A = this chain, B = another copy of it.
Amino acid sequence: MRPSGRAPDQMREIRIEPGFTRHAEGSVLVSFGDTRVLCTASVEEKVPPFLRGKGQGWVTAEYGMLPRATHTRGNREAAKGKQSGRTQEIQRLIGRSLRAVVDLKALGERQIVVDCDVLQADGGTRTAAISGAWCALRIAVDKLIEAKSLPSDPIRTQVGAVSCGIHNGTAVLDLDYIEDSAAGCDGNFVLTADGSIVEAQVTAEGECYDEEGLLRLLRLARIGCSEIFQAQLKATGK
């Protein structure tokens, strides 16, 4: 029995509200249950120095968590003067995941920065962030297409992510904070709508696992992501 009463292969309620803020070219508030992440996509008509003049664009991401998004207040990274290793690890993952489904040449010499800021955390912030970031990116790119700034769509397919883990000996989908804290092993899977794996990361936390365990988690991730893909389509009006 999961603490939340969910079935092992049951996601939390997914909500994706487009247009949550108005200045960004793309913006959604994504919720996986009580985990809520504001994702905004900003289009910049320039690329980072290492890409100048290379005829291609770039997609990158930044991640942050409001100090009191969590059960007990954390220090503000801006006040501490540096981003934690965890923050950097997550924002690198989000960026890689988005770039996996974008044709950077087709994007042209521009950069899209997706900011993922966690307003409330209850486990799975990085997977909610990736899933919402794709929507923000989709909306921003749609605006570029509408404005005829892009001759073709650089986004090849959808990308979504979900966490899975072994909790009390059972493989479960979309861990909340309570499950996450007690999981024997947990992983994050980034999948595309056409069935490929972009990234799989599974970490033993006390309990090691084997091939069968890995595949079981991956099967759950496929279930969760298909639900995420539907929510993404609905939110972006596809």
Residues of A within 8 A of B (CB): 21-24, 27, 34, 36, 38, 40, 42, 44, 62, 64, 66-73, 76-89, 91-92, 96, 100, 113, 115, 117, 119-121, 187, 192, 195-204, 208-211, 213-215, 218
- State the Cβ distance, A114 to closest chain B Cβ, in Å: 9
Please give, as numbers and ranges, the residues of chain B lying within 8 Å of A201 by CB-CB distance. Answer: 199-202
Determine how many copies of this chain the complex contains.
6
Are A64 and B91 closer than 8 Å at their CB atoms? no
3 smallest beta-carbon distances between A and B, as pairs: A196-B208, A85-B88, A77-B78
Report the separation of the CA atoms of residues A209 and B196 in the bound assembly, to the nearest whole angstrom: 5
- State the Cβ distance, A42 to closest chain B Cβ, in Å: 4
Across the interface, A89 reaches (CB within 8 A) one of B23, B76, B85, namely B85
Across the interface, A210 reaches (CB within 8 A) one of B24, B86, B88, B197, namely B197
Are A23 and B120 closer than 8 Å at their CB atoms? yes
- State the Cβ distance, A121 to closest chain B Cβ, in Å: 8
Across the interface, A196 reaches (CB within 8 A) one of B42, B117, B204, namely B204
Are B73 and A38 closer than 8 Å at their CB atoms? no
Are A92 and B85 closer than 8 Å at their CB atoms? yes
Interchain residue pairs with CB less than 8 A apart (23)? A21-B69, A21-B119, A23-B68, A23-B121, A42-B67, A62-B79, A67-B115, A73-B113, A78-B82, A81-B81, A81-B82, A85-B88, A85-B92, A88-B89, A96-B203, A100-B208, A196-B208, A197-B209, A197-B213, A199-B201, A199-B204, A211-B215, A214-B214
Known: A85-B91, A96-B203; 11 extra A-B contacts, CB below 8 A, are A23-B71, A40-B66, A73-B113, A79-B83, A82-B82, A100-B204, A197-B202, A197-B214, A199-B201, A201-B201, A215-B215
Are B62 and A34 closer than 8 Å at their CB atoms? no
Q: Closest chain B residue to A27 by CB distance?
A: B68
Task: Given the known inter-chain contacts A73-B113, A78-B78, A209-B196, please indicate yes or no for A68 contacting B119, CB distance below 8 A.
Answer: no
